[in-house]
């Protein structure tokens, strides 16, 4: 009976050590703001708290995730029938948005799907244009939208064209 008990203790010890090793590796959580997954080379410097302990403190951002992201100012132009490519901003960066004229159906104010990530203001301009500025506030993904509205003869407006720009914000 001594040998089976020793084997059980050895198996439990191996399992504990294996689990302890797993806890030291960073884990990429799926979500709208993570486009690259994997582990970093080296130990994690992030820490997590248990249930009810205030959440998880993520490990430092992998510099490769910022590749191609704009850290200062980016420009975007709203045009009908030209869907824009997704852009990436670093927290603190600014996005200036202007539109092509649309005199028969003015562009409506810019709207962010999550103003905690991307906060925007806009003002109407001449010939149905819209000009706006957005500020990247924290990591995540937000969709910036505007529409044109054509007058339909009886003072009611109906949406005509929806323009959307996906903005990924990184730390």
Query: Would you state the pLDDT for residue 67?
Result: 80
Average confidence (pLDDT) over 68-73: 93
**Distance between CA atoms of 153 and 165, rounded to whole angstroms?**
30
Task: Tell the burial category of 158 from Cβ atoms under 10 Å away from its Cβ (0-12, 13-18, 19+).
Answer: exposed
Statement: residue 10 has pLDDT above 90: no
- Sequence-distant (6+) residues with CB within 8 A of 89 are 69, 70, 71, 74, 95, 118, 136, 167, 168, 169, 170
More confident of the two residues 150 and 60:
150
Statement: residue 40 has pLDDT above 50: no
Question: 122-171, pLDDT tens digit by residue?
Answer: 999 999 999 999 999 999 999 999 998 776 665 555 568 899 999 999 99
Measured at the CA of 138, the angle between CA 43 and CA 57, to 5 degrees, comes to 30
pLDDT-wise least confident of 10-19, 72-81, 83-92, 133-142: 10-19
**Distance between CA atoms of 133 and 135, rounded to whole angstroms?**
7
Q: Which domains does the chain have, with CATH numbers?
A: 65-170 (2.60.40.2020)
User: With contact defined as beta carbons under 8 Å apart, do 144 and 126 qualify?
Assistant: no
The pTM assigned to this predicted structure is: 0.60
Name the nearest CA neighbour of 163 among 122, 35, 116, 68: 122
Q: Quote the DSSP letter at residue 107.
A: B
């Amino acid at each position: 009976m001594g040998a089976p008990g020793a084997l059980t203790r050895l198996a439990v010890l191996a399992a504990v050590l294996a689990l302890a090793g797993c806890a030291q590796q960073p884990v990429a959580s799926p979500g709208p703001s993570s486009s690259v997954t994997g582990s970093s080379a080296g130990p994690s410097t992030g820490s997590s708290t248990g249930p009810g302990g205030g959440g998880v403190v993520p490990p430092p951002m992998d510099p490769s995730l910022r590749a191609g992201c704009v850290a200062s100012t980016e420009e975007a132009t709203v045009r009908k029938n030209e869907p824009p490519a997704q852009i990436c901003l670093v927290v603190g960066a600014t996005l200036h948005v202007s539109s092509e004229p649309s005199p028969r159906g003015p562009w409506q104010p810019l709207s962010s799907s999550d103003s905690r990530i991307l906060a925007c203001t806009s003002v109407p301009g001449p010939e149905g244009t819209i000009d706006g500025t957005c500020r990247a506030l924290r990591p995540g993904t937000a969709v910036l939208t505007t529409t044109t509205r054509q007058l339909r003869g009886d003072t009611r407006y109906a949406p005509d064209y929806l323009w959307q720009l996906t903005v990924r914000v990184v730390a």
